């Protein structure tokens, strides 16, 4: 009988238990599931420098300061403090503590009002995620939620949730933001007094905020400390020390450093609370200060914006970046990030075509480049000073930033090769095809950002190795790749470090204490953008000045408006550092070259000078400008092998430039005419055929619809050697015109493919093909 009863009891109990569990499951799963999404709220964002200093901060999307922390990053002092004050039996109760509930009920009944809640920390979490009226029903829901929370989470998880949700006054939520704003500390490093303050505030954040009500805060803190002492958790001396500690009376100010960089960092990593950038705090501050000062000097000139970038060449780390001189200057669009705005780079791309020229062996620093009128399928580049300089050493052409030699060199090394180099060097804003840019690309007929451009120069500074810029310290160091040879970078750097140059800012002309820096300036068309990029082995510094509005200013000149700031930053940055420069790579060697042609001297060259070259790469062709010619001793006529016999012959040295240059040089009185060829000679000199300057080989002429063809004539022009006086033009195998050497004739274009031949009066000819559409 007894056994039957106990059997029934057991059965009844188990059925009831199963039923209860089923009800609980149904409630938990379907009727009132836990709003878990409310347990973690959107965080605020804190942007740090590489040395761990706060640069800038952004509140969460719902305008709260939250900085989520892990439990093991919270000071044990604080955990002890909060448990002792709020919920001593937290580790043991199932979410609700009946003893404290009953105690609270008795106290409240005695007082006639609600003086205590008797809530556990789990119930407080429930209230924080679903604020309710303080009624009996509200309390019941809270208790239900507390059971649910305990069911879903461990005690440690609940502690972490609690510390990240608890309010600390104003829009500060959670222990991470609270320790930051009240103590400028990490939550792991709290003193007993600080732990007690942080225990005190949440009881009534607006009453106990230390920055607003320090007295009330102190009183409440002391209460917490006394309680800890009474419970034996705090020894006498710690208790005395804690009570003696001051109450912080200010919330930490929010720094406002590197605002543009901070915004873009956040845009890249929108879900991270702590963003650790590669910015060097002191250098960033320095650049911001110098930029603001310098801005004051630019504004009277109608220049309202500037941007600065500093890159560490060794690591590729971005060390400083100024997006505009004043972020809060709304009148001049101060929020625009000038270092990331795509603008026309002016002459700043030129060094890279020279680097290509050096490493392909086409030129050395002394090699002559043409600087005479030239036309590439209708495109006729001009120099800044509207003058031509004949033949110019390439180092000189780069320093003087002449346009025509740079365009000619680009045509020689290959536009596509140049474009590919720029793309591989990280100029991501070049989003058109190379032929859409054409040769003007080298003169800056494109758009680049200051950051990309400076980083391209950093590759030069690194001896040719390209590396993407690193902006976050926790990103792995990007692997680099070779963009240019060390030798050609060395040659370019040596040229760009030359002080004898026109783009030295006027204000620096007499300064001797310039650091050794390779630098290049650039000014865009319409004087809208002025650039200067400078580097040494350690740093690359880029400066852009101009107006975000796109307005030009007569004063916008790279050398005058951008270079001084670049030098100021470089000087300040390297003031206490050992000067550093590049060692000459072993394959860069010295050799004598002809003073006139810059080529290794031949048998007729008159004088030589030293030049650097790349062993095994640079051209070793000897000077072909200085030539010994046979001249008839009596008549002064030039003699060729065919008419040499039986004459008294003198060998005279002449400068003989290639045919394409001769006419122009003679026109400028920059070259002397060679003696006329013996008129009685029947032989033909085989070399030095005419060079057709226009039309260019394989040129395509697009006829403009609607415009009369008379205005679209095509010029036929050729350079011929000295001996030749006339040029005969054959168009599609028929004689079209005859003109004097040096003159041109015009052709009225007919659609179709054509072949044009220039024939000189010594019977030498050259043919090119072109097309009219
Ligand atoms: Zn020579
Ligand atoms: Zn002859």
Question: How confident is the model over 594-635, as pLDDT tens digits?
Answer: 999 999 999 999 999 999 999 999 999 999 899 888 899 999
* Ligand 2 ion: nearby residues, β-carbon < 5 Å: 640, 642-643, 678, 681, 683
Q: Tokens 């004097």 map to which residue?
A: 740
Q: Compute the distance from residue 630 Cα to the ligand 1 centre, in Å.
A: 18
**590, exposed or middle or buried, with CB in 10 Å at 0-12, 13-18, 19+?**
exposed
Q: Compute the distance from residue 180 Cα to the ligand 2 centre, in Å.
A: 94
Query: How far is the C-alpha of 595 from the C-alpha of 368, rounded, in Å?
Result: 10
What are the residues whose beta carbons fall under 8 Å from the beta carbon of 664, sequence distance 6 or more? 372, 373, 388, 390, 670, 719
Q: Compute the distance from residue 681 Cα to the ligand 2 centre, in Å.
A: 4
Q: Compute the distance from residue 723 Cα to the ligand 1 centre, in Å.
A: 21
How many C-beta neighbours within 10 Å does residue 677 have?
A: 20
Name the DSSP class of 472: B
Q: Compute the distance from residue 682 Cα to the ligand 2 centre, in Å.
A: 7
Name the DSSP class of 636: -
- Which tens digits make up the pLDDT trace of 377-412? 778 899 988 899 999 999 999 999 999 999 999 999
Q: Which of the ligands is closest to the CA of residue 601?
A: 1
Q: Compute the distance from residue 628 Cα to the ligand 2 centre, in Å.
A: 15
Q: Which of the ligands is closest to the CA of residue 654?
A: 1
Q: Compute the distance from residue 407 Cα to the ligand 1 centre, in Å.
A: 25
pTM of the predicted protein model: 0.82
Q: Compute the distance from residue 598 Cα to the ligand 1 centre, in Å.
A: 7
Query: How far is the C-alpha of 481 from the C-alpha of 490, rounded, in Å?
Result: 17
Q: Compute the distance from residue 592 Cα to the ligand 1 centre, in Å.
A: 11
- Check: CB of residue 678 under 8 Å from CB of residue 639: yes
Q: Which of the ligands is closest to the CA of residue 609?
A: 1
Q: Which of the ligands is closest to the CA of residue 643?
A: 2
Tokens matching residue 301? 């000139």
Q: Compute the distance from residue 768 Cα to the ligand 2 centre, in Å.
A: 28
Q: Which of the ligands is closest to the CA of residue 638?
A: 2
Query: How far is the C-alpha of 575 from the C-alpha of 754, rounded, in Å?
Result: 64
- What is the reported pLDDT for 388? 92
Q: Which of the ligands is closest to the CA of residue 644?
A: 2
Q: Compute the distance from residue 178 Cα to the ligand 1 centre, in Å.
A: 78
Q: Compute the distance from residue 680 Cα to the ligand 2 centre, in Å.
A: 8
Q: Which of the ligands is closest to the CA of residue 681?
A: 2
Q: Compute the distance from residue 149 Cα to the ligand 1 centre, in Å.
A: 92
Q: Which residues of the chain have pLDDT under 70?
A: 1-5, 114-116, 507-513, 682-687, 706-708, 710, 722
**Beta strands, E only, 283-340:** 305-312, 318-322
């Amino acid at each position: 009988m007894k056994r039957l009863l106990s059997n029934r009891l057991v059965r009844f109990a188990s059925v009831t238990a199963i039923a209860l569990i089923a009800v609980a499951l149904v409630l938990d799963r379907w009727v009132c599931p836990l709003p878990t999404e409310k347990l973690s709220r959107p965080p605020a964002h804190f942007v740090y420098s590489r040395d761990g200093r706060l640069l800038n901060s952004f509140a969460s999307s719902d305008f709260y300061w939250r900085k989520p922390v892990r439990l093991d990053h919270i000071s044990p002092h604080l955990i002890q403090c909060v448990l002792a004050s709020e919920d001593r039996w937290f580790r043991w109760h199932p979410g609700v503590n009946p003893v404290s509930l009953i105690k609270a009920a008795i106290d409240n009944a005695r007082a006639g009002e609600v003086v205590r809640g008797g809530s556990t920390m789990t119930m407080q979490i429930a209230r924080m995620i679903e604020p309710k009226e303080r009624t009996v029903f509200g309390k019941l829901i809270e208790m239900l939620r507390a059971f649910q929370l305990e069911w879903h989470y461990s005690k440690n998880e609940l502690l972490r949730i609690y510390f990240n949700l608890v309010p600390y006054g104003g829009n500060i939520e959670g222990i991470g933001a609270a320790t930051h704003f009240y103590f400028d500390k990490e939550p792991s490093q709290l003193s007993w007094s600080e732990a007690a303050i942080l225990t005190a505030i949440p009881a009534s954040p607006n009453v106990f905020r230390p920055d607003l009500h320090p007295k009330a805060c102190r009183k409440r803190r002391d209460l917490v400390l006394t309680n800890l002492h009474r419970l034996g958790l705090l020894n006498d001396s710690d208790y005395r020390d804690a009570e003696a500690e001051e109450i912080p009376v200010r919330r930490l100010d929010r720094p406002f450093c590197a605002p543009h960089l901070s915004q873009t960092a956040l845009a890249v990593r929108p879900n991270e609370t702590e963003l650790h950038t590669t910015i060097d705090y002191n250098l960033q501050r320095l650049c911001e200060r110098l930029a603001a000062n310098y801005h004051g000097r630019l504004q009277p000139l109608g220049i309202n914006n500037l941007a600065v970038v500093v890159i560490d060449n060794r690591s590729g780390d971005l060390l400083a970046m100024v997006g505009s001189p004043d972020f809060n200057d709304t009148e001049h669009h101060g929020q625009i990030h000038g270092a990331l705005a795509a603008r026309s780079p002016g002459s700043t791309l030129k060094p890279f075509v020279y680097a290509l020229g050096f490493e392909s062996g086409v030129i050395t620093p002394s090699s002559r480049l043409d600087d005479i009128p030239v036309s590439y399928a209708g495109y006729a580049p001009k120099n800044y000073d509207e003058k031509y300089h004949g033949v110019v050493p390439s180092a000189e052409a780069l320093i003087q930033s002449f346009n025509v030699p740079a365009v000619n060199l680009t045509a020689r090394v290959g536009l596509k090769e140049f474009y590919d180099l720029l793309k591989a060097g990280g100029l991501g804003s070049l989003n058109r095809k190379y032929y859409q840019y054409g040769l003007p690309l080298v003169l800056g007929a494109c758009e680049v950002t200051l950051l990309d451009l400076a980083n391209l120069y950093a590759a030069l500074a690194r001896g040719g190795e390209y590396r993407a810029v690193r902006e976050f310290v926790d990103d792995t160091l990007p692997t680099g790749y070779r963009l240019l040879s060390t030798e050609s970078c060395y040659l370019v750097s040596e040229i760009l470090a030359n002080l004898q140059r026109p783009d030295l800012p006027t204000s620096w002309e007499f300064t001797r204490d310039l650091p050794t820096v390779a630098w290049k300036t650039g000014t865009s068309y319409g004087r809208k953008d002025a650039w200067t990029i400078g580097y040494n082995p350690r740093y690359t510094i880029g400066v852009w000045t101009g107006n975000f509005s796109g307005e030009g200013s007569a004063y916008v000149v790279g050398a005058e408006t951008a270079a001084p700031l670049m030098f100021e930053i470089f000087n300040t940055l390297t003031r206490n550092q050992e000067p550093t420069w590049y060692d000459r790579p072993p394959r860069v060697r010295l050799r004598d070259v002809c003073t006139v042609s810059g080529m290794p001297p031949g048998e007729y060259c008159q004088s030589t000078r030293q030049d650097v070259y790349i062993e095994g790469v640079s051209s070793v062709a000897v000077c072909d400008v200085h030539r010994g010619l046979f001249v008839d001793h009596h008549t002064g006529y030039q003699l060729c092998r065919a008419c040499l016999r039986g004459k008294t012959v003198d060998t005279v040295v002449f400068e003989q430039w290639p045919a394409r240059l001769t006419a122009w040089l003679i026109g400028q009185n920059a070259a002397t005419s060679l003696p006329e060829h013996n008129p009685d000679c029947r032989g033909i000199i085989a070399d030095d055929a005419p060079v057709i300057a226009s039309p260019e080989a394989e040129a395509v002429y697009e006829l403009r619809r609607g415009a009369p063809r008379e205005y679209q004539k095509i010029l036929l022009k050729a350079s011929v050697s000295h001996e030749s006086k006339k040029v005969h033009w054959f168009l599609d195998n028929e004689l079209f015109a005859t003109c004097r050497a040096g003159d041109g004739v015009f052709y009225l274009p007919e659609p179709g493919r054509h072949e044009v031949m220039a024939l000189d009066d010594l019977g030498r000819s050259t043919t090119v093909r072109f097309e009219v559409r």
